[in-house]
Amino acid sequence: MKKIIFDIETRNAFEDVGKADPALLDLSVICAHDSETNKYLAYTQEELPNLWPILEKADMLIGYNSDHFDIPILNKYYPGDLTRIKSLDLLKEIKKSLGRRIKLDLVAEGTLGRKKTGNGLEAIAWWKNGEVDKIKKYCMEDVKITKELYEYALKNSILKYKNLSESREIKLDTSKWEEKENVLITHTLPF
């Protein structure tokens, strides 16, 4: 199964576009891990055509808050419909189990013992300062965290999070996460 674990950073924030609609935001960088090649990839908005053939061969897209945030942003650039690819949103799975959302930073700290290296608002400031390499490094670290969380959850059927100084478990049903779905996607390139 070809899995693409990914994360997106934007050039602007909701306050810049006037409403909380991710599709109104502009992508600065997308970073991804391709399970087939075991490679990490980074693209700017202008380089997205190089990403489409990779995504079109994916059996599953994996992210954190990706169904609500990342996929709607990416889909506005894609000539087809990325929602036709199976997706697994770790935040959605956590909310289904716990009844509420938990920040990636708290889950990373609780499960992996480390924190994120920045945040989305810092990435926007870096964009405005022309520090694209800094954004890529930060975004890539979020992809690595998401990949490790996905693998941990798949193996243990739990994730952990920090609640003040206490560590708590989130039980997850991972039994169907890697079931392959047959979907037809509108490809941008001939295969």
Give buried/exposed letters for 105-116 (b at 16+ CB in 10 A, else e): bbbbbbbeeeeb
Q: Does domain 3-171 have CATH number 3.30.540.10?
A: no
CA distance 164 to 13: 28
**165: DSSP letter:** T
The residue extents of the domains of the chain are 3-171
**For 20-77, how does the pLDDT look when each residue is reduced to its tens digit (9 = 90+)?**
999 999 999 999 999 999 999 999 999 999 999 999 999 999 999 999 999 999 999 9
Model pTM score? 0.92
**For 67-116, how does the pLDDT look when each residue is reduced to its tens digit (9 = 90+)?**
999 999 999 999 999 999 999 999 999 999 999 999 999 999 999 999 99
pLDDT confidence of 181, banded at 50, 70, 90? confident
